Structure formats: structure tokens, C-alpha cells
Structure 1
Amino acid sequence: MYTRFVTASVDRRQEELDALAVLAGTELRRATTGVAKVHASIADGVFGGLRMAFGRRADPVRTVHNTLALAAYTTVGGSADLVGRLTGIVAAVPVARRAPSETSRGAVTLGILNGLIGDELSRDASPLAATMTIRVDGREVLPTAEALRAAFPGAGSHLTVFLHGLMESEYAWEIGGRSSYGRRLSDDIGSTEIRIRYNSGLHVSDNGRELADVLSALVLLWPVPVTGLSLIGHSMGGLVIRSACERAAREDLYWAGLLRHAVYLGTPHLGAPMAKGVHAATAALGGFPATNPFGNLLRRRSAGVRDLFHGTLTEEGWHDIERDVLRQPLPDDAPLPPNVRHLFATASVTRRADHPLGRLLGDGLVLAGSGRGQGRDRTIGLRPSDGFHLGSAHHFTLLNHDGVYAWLRSELRPRRALERRSDAIGFSVL
């Protein structure tokens, strides 16, 4: 069995490295073509002006310029193929037995790549495209009773499932080199940490559907009966959780009845300024020949990035919508599932959230209002009393911070029956 495992890992490593070699050559050629178009557009303007000033006497100069430019870009394009071949040769050298996707550095790199063009990679069936999988030490854990029993020898009855954000991997929870929230919760309240990796370049609705399927298999095949489930998502991961909950409610999936907490850390429930800014820049750059190649580059942004314009959760929210129209219609917000505690944490670069600069910048990527799910035109129903704010922090601080952990531990710990009854009538005995 060990020999088969090593062989499979080596084969996966070679597949991923071969795919990286091909991708490197393809992207270099694409970049070269874009630069060539910008060059040609600028040159046309320059030589058009020269022809107006000097007439046909400027034509020979233009012909020489175009010939040299064509030779230069053709050479660079050929170099792209050479880079791809050389990378493939290097990839064939058995330096390590683990595939890039199974190492921390490789997972981080592929996480960024998936966030940028993960939908393209998935459409092309590339081995670089991440799938919705449980990961332990970088390796995929198959959703079988035997694999789960081997990967989680100390399996408990309460599961805490962690989902990373856009362009991240499950290693993001170890930012700063500190022990993850999941490991600390395991020590402090006895829950079992489950880390998920997924392709953040896909639509949130696609990832929500896949997460719902993974959770269905997980609670069915877990080594001991599952009595409770908590889901914690950072940034986009929180949207994926909400999307999975929407599907679970619609299809009456079993795990929905086990769900006790849904936690959203820096989640852009109402969208993110970054996505809106890139969307506007795409439209602006596409209006001029000289900048159109840059507009085309931004237009390649993944479906996942596009969903962050409004925080779109369902397929209905994007299916019949023109992707590049400047004004995007508001999606219908899926209702939060009842009988579940919906907790959220926000951050601001300023000490106080209501500081003018803090209101403008939020945590650098997500505004506090979006993290709370409250805006002038939309509100998703989160209760202010279930929130936590971290000042003088940025978006990624929420992944691993002692203050956030203390809040999580307090909120996720088993609650006495008296506390649950007091919540139901609107006060707390704590």
C-alpha cells in the first residue's frame, strides 16, 4: 500500500509540474501578444502623426519599424515555447517525491493561481485546478470511512470545518507561524479540526454545492457519530458557507440539522471594493485601443473574483447576467438558516471602526459594513450582538489572532441549557 501511495504521489507531482511548464509557456506567449498590441496601437498613433507632417516620406521608416517589431515579438514568442520545454525538462528531475499541491509553498502558489484563473484551469481539466477536498498536512483525504479513520485517529463528535478565502489555501490558517484556531479549539473545547481546500476561482455557488456534498459525506462516514458541526470561513470562505447552507436548506440535507455555528471572518457579504474597482477599470481600459489589451487582461479575472462584486451566492445571481456590463444588478440574498448561530468578525486598519479612514478602507479589502452584512440597500440579517471587531488590523490578521481566537472559543464552547433558554427570550446570564 505504501508503494502504491508513493507512486501515485510521484505521478501527481509529474502531472502538476508538466502542467506548470505548459502554463508558463502559454502565459508568456499571451503576455507577449498583449504587449505587441499595445506597441502596435501606440506606433500607429505616432506614425499617423508623422505621415500627416511629412507625407509618404515617413512610410519607409514605418515599414522598417514594423519589420523589426514583428521579428522581436516572434522571437519572444518562440522563447516562450523554449521556456515551457526547459521547465518540463527540469520537472522530470526527481528532486522531491511530493507534488507541489501537497507542500505548503506549492499550495500557497497554486491557491493564488486558482484564485486568478481557476475557472479556466477547471474548464481545461488541468491538474493544477484545486477541488473541494479535506486536507491533512497538504495531502487529500478521500471521503471514505477508512481514509477518515486513518487521517483522524482522535476523531471527536463535534467537527469544526475551516474554509479559506480567495487565492488562499488551508495553510492560511497558520499565518504568522502560530497554531491554528482549529488546533487550539481541539485542545480547549474538544472539537476536531477539518481543513478544506477548494478552487476559489470558481463561482461561489459552484463551491457551495461542492461543499454541501463534502459535508454530506463527512458526517455520514465520520468514525464516530457527529453530534455538532461548526463552519468557519475567512473572506470568500464565508460566502461559500452561506451558499452551501442555502443548498442544504433547499434539499433538506442531513448535515444542516447538525449545524450549530456559522462563522464569517472578514466576509464581504455585500461585495468587496477590490472587485468593484477591477470591474470599473476593465470597462474604462477597454474603451481605448492603446489600453484595450490591459482591459482584456482584467477581463480574464475568474468567476470567483466576479462574484465578489456583490457577494453573489447562487447560480441565479450570475447565470443570465451580462458579465462586463458596468452596473451589475443586486442578487437575491439567501436567507440565513434558522436555529444556527451566525457569528461574524470584522477588522479595520484604524483602532476604531467608526474612524473616517477606517470607514473608507475597512480592513484593506473588505469594508466593515459589508462584513456585518448591513448596507443602505441590503441587509442579510446578522445580529450586531453576534459580531466582533478587531481594530488596528488588516484582512489577513483575522486568520490567526489571539483576540479573535478568545472570542471564537467563548462563542463555540458548549453552552449550558440555561444559556440556550435565556438566548431564546432575548437575554444572557453570562
Structure 2
Amino acid sequence: MEKWNEAGAVNEVGALLEVAAEMMERLGITPAESLHRAIARRVWTSLGPLAMPTRTVHDGIAGAVYTGLRMGTRTAASAAAATARAAGRGRSVRPLNATSRGRLVVGLLNAVIGDRLADQGNHLAIAMSIRQRGMDVRTGRAALAKAFPKATSRVVVFLHGLGENEEHWRPGRAFSFGSRLRADLGLTPVHVRYNSGRHVSDNGDLLAQLLEDLVGRWPVEVEELALVGHSMGGLVARSACHAALQGGRVWPLRLRYLVTLGTPHTGAPLPKAVQAAAWVLRKVPEARPLAEVLDNRSAGIRDLTHGYLLEADWRLEDPDRLLDDQRGMVSPTPGCTHTFITATLTRDPSSPLGRLAGDLLVRTDSAGGRHRTRPIPIPTESVVHVGSMTHFDLLGHGLVYKHLKHALEEIPSRRPK
């Protein structure tokens, strides 16, 4: 099978062994050592100075044991990974990305530790790319022409959410939003996959460049561009718009519409709960190891706490302060119509359950860009609500498509004649 953008040998088996070793150390050995030290410290403190000789011996033995466990784990993992790569004989070994379920696992893994995978150059780290039929598509003219032989001048780019991939836009249905928009409105769907464990701002920068390449090398001239983002994908889209405008890129001039589906524009409750739990646990020495486990969450998950779009947002945040919201104000892209689609489990969004639970993962106020002091400045009529749906129903429900289609039908042409 042809691979459009494979460069060099990729061995996912070796990469997975390295990840397993790191997770064993981060989530097993290190928390165990921290808990051991915290309990021992309390015991030695209660015994007083007379216990100092025994404490010195104990600490030395304990330190040596944990160091040995770390070294043994790393050595075994390195040897196993080297064996797996040698067995590949210089060829790419990609059992995970070869199947839909495997790609799902890779997406989830990147959501949890994707930032570290990228920093380490691990082969399981997802590189942002256009996707088609389970493979990456290069952004060269020839590659785009081959992948999109029926390309039109109207392009809609789909961006998935945390832990998802491009295949989530077709959740067990014969027709996806993209295929329906192509049939109904003549839009060419383009699906992007990215590492959702990285900072939203990093993915925004990457998407800004990807869209610049896409628009500049598309088989026909792009007259209208639309972005559709589910959950985190909406944040990445907005971050890319900001980065593109700051960088003087061309594609925002073609951007007509930005639609977000269940996007936590002002933060999501679950990441906030995790951050609050970690903050509380750090106050108790014996519970601090649990806080360290929670603190291992990826940069992408951290950004969802308050809906961060910019690098300045997360750099200004003080981790020692509880829910220190440093979200900066990012204005909507000029000349682009924005639509925020929200959902609730209940038909009525104002019901107590609807207001509390939202779509299970994102509350309606956040998905609609509303905030007590820093709301997203879009018209009230640009926020659309759908009832009796969960967060993931937004990826393929017929009623959601109806609103999406209506929005894209209304795109006004801004190009000079």
C-alpha cells in the first residue's frame, strides 16, 4: 500500500515499549517513592533525634531500591525497544496506525501524554496532517491533487477534539458531515488529525501553517474556506486564526465561517475538577503522590481548564494558585461569521440538569462563549442550542448537520469581483 508521506522507518512497537516504561516510572515508581518518603518522614519526626541513625540507614536503602527499580525499568525497556527495531530491519512497523482501533488508541495516548511524546521524538507522537483513508496527505500540489481529484473552490476543514481523530467525524453512520456538505453545497471536506496532548497554542501555530500551505497549493483557487471544530478542535481553530492574523498569512482572507461544536471556550468542568483535586492533595504530604499523578496530565488537557488559546495564557498561570484563570481575550476573526453550537442532555437548556451537566463534558455557557467577566464577543443569534444530546452526538447528529448546513449556506462572498 502506498504511503503518501512516510519519511524514514517508524517502529511503533519500540515506541510503545518506551512509553510503557515511562508510565511505569511516572505513575508507579515515583508516586510509590513519594508516598514512602512522606510516611517515613512523619514517623521519623515523631521519634525525634534519637532515630536519626536508623533514619539515615533507612533512607539510604530506600533510595537505592527506587533508583535500582528506575534503572532496571529503563534498561529493560531500552533493550526491548532496540530488539523490536532490529527485528524491523529498517522497515516501518506500524501495527497501531494500520487499523481503525489502533489509531483510536494512538489518539487517546496522545491526549494523555502527547506533549511528552512530541518532546521526546517518540514515533507514537501524532504529527499534524491532512488525513484521508487512514493515511497522511502531504501538502504539496501533486499530493493534494491526487488525494482530492474533485477539489472545489469551497473548502471545509474539520478538526476533531481531545483524544479523537479524523475518523470520529463518521461515528457509525453511512454519511459524515463532510460527505453530506459535498453533496448538498459543493464543499470539499478536508479532515485534519493533530496531537491533542500538546498546547492549543502549539497546535494553533501548526494549523495556521498547514492552512497556508493548503490554500496556496490547492488544485483550484480557494474562494471560500470554513473551519468546523468539535470540542478542543474549536479552540485550535480559533488559535490558528489568531496566529495567522498575527503572522500576516493569506488564508484568513478566504475564511468565511467558523463553527464550533461543544467547544469549551471558557473552560470545562472536568479539567477544573482535576486541577482543584491536585491542588488540595498537594496540601497533605501523604496525598502529594496522588497530586503528582494528576499533575502528569498533558498540556492539552490543562488548556481545557479555562479554554486557553495563547502561549501567554498558560505561561502566566500560577500552578500554586487554585484555578488561576489567565485566559486572554481573543477577538473573532474579522469578516468571518462565527457560530457556536451547544448541547444539553435535556431538551431545555435552562433546566437544572441542563445547566449543571451540559452535554456531559461541556456546559452550555462555555460552549456558547459566555462568561461572567470575559465573554466571547459574538452576537447572541450566533449561539445555537440543540437539546437531548451528549458531547459526542454533536459529531454526526442530523439536527446538528441541519444547523451546520444552514450556517454554511449563508456564507457571504467577500472576494472582490
> What is the TM-score of this pair, normalised by structure 2?
0.86
Are 2:246 and 1:239 equivalent residues in the alignment? no
Amino acid aligned to 1:164: H
Are 2:255 and 1:226 equivalent residues in the alignment? no
CA contact (8 A) 2:200 2:236 kept: yes
Find the aligned partners of 2:382 and 2:281 in 1 and give their Cα distance: 42
Aligned-partner SS, 1:226? coil
Match of 1:197 among 186, 193, 198: 193
Find the aligned partners of 2:122 and 2:324 in 1 and give their Cα distance: 30
Q: How does 1:234-383 map to 2 (within 5 A)?
A: 234-383=230-379
CA contact (8 A) 2:155 2:224 kept: yes
CA contact (8 A) 1:32 1:77 kept: no
Match of 1:110 among 95, 100, 106: 106
Match of 1:142 among 132, 138, 143: 138
Unaligned stretches of 5+ in structure 1?
A: 421-430
Shift of 1:248: 2.3
Shift of 1:206: 1.4
Find the aligned partners of 1:43 and 1:252 in 2 and give their Cα distance: 58
Unaligned stretches of 5+ in structure 2?
A: none
Aligned-partner SS, 1:339? coil
CA contact (8 A) 1:9 1:98 kept: no
CA contact (8 A) 2:9 2:93 kept: no
CA contact (8 A) 1:36 1:73 kept: no
Report the equivalent of 1:211.
207
Shift of 1:258: 0.7
Find the aligned partners of 2:140 and 2:271 in 1 and give their Cα distance: 38
My pick for the range that moved more, 213-222 or 320-329, is 320-329
Map Cα deviations across residues 130-181 of structure 1 (whole Å, 9 max, x no partner): 2221111221111100111111111111111011111221122122344321
Report the equivalent of 1:34.
31
CA contact (8 A) 1:372 1:382 kept: no
Amino acid aligned to 1:167: G
Map Cα deviations across residues 87-125 of structure 1 (whole Å, 9 max, x no partner): 765677679965533532222212222222222122222
Aligned-partner SS, 2:107? helix
My pick for the range that moved more, 395-404 or 84-93, is 84-93
Shift of 1:336: 0.4
CA contact (8 A) 2:256 2:411 kept: no
Q: Kindly report structure 1 stretches of 4+ aligned residues shifted beyond 3 Å.
A: 5-13, 39-49, 66-99, 414-417
CA contact (8 A) 2:9 2:92 kept: no
Shift of 1:264: 0.6
Are 2:387 and 1:391 equivalent residues in the alignment? yes
Find the aligned partners of 1:204 and 1:393 in 2 and give their Cα distance: 26
Shift of 1:73: 10
CA contact (8 A) 2:127 2:194 kept: yes
Aligned-partner SS, 1:100? coil
Q: Are the structure 2 counterparts of residues 354 and 82 from structure 1 closer, same or farther at C-alpha, using a change threshold of 3 Å?
A: same
Sequence identity (%): 39
Aligned-partner SS, 2:283? coil
Report the equivalent of 1:176.
172
Find the aligned partners of 1:245 and 1:331 in 2 and give their Cα distance: 16
My pick for the range that moved more, 238-247 or 405-414, is 405-414
Shift of 1:365: 1.2
Map Cα deviations across residues 357-395 of structure 1 (whole Å, 9 max, x no partner): 111111111110001111211211222322322222211
Aligned-partner SS, 2:155? strand
Q: Are the structure 2 counterparts of residues 414 and 382 from structure 1 closer, same or farther at C-alpha, using a change threshold of 3 Å?
A: closer
Shift of 1:295: 0.8
Aligned length: 408
Find the aligned partners of 2:344 and 2:150 in 1 and give their Cα distance: 38
Match of 1:155 among 136, 151, 163: 151
Shift of 1:186: 1.1
Report the equivalent of 1:423.
none
Aligned-partner SS, 2:101? helix
Q: Are the structure 2 counterparts of residues 320 and 388 from structure 1 closer, same or farther at C-alpha, using a change threshold of 3 Å?
A: closer
Find the aligned partners of 2:136 and 2:4 in 1 and give their Cα distance: 15
Shift of 1:404: 0.6
Find the aligned partners of 1:91 and 1:348 in 2 and give their Cα distance: 48
Q: Are the structure 2 counterparts of residues 77 and 363 from structure 1 closer, same or farther at C-alpha, using a change threshold of 3 Å?
A: farther
Structure having the higher helix fraction is: 1
CA contact (8 A) 2:35 2:289 kept: yes
Find the aligned partners of 1:18 and 1:322 in 2 and give their Cα distance: 37
The CA RMSD over aligned residues, in Å, is 3.3
Shift of 1:68: 10
Amino acid aligned to 2:143: A
My pick for the range that moved more, 28-37 or 287-296, is 28-37
Aligned-partner SS, 2:407? helix
Find the aligned partners of 1:324 and 1:304 in 2 and give their Cα distance: 19
CA contact (8 A) 1:232 1:238 kept: yes
Map Cα deviations across residues 44-86 of structure 1 (whole Å, 9 max, x no partner): 657988x79xx99xx89xx99x989987996798467546755
Map Cα deviations across residues 190-223 of structure 1 (whole Å, 9 max, x no partner): 1111111111122211111111111111010001
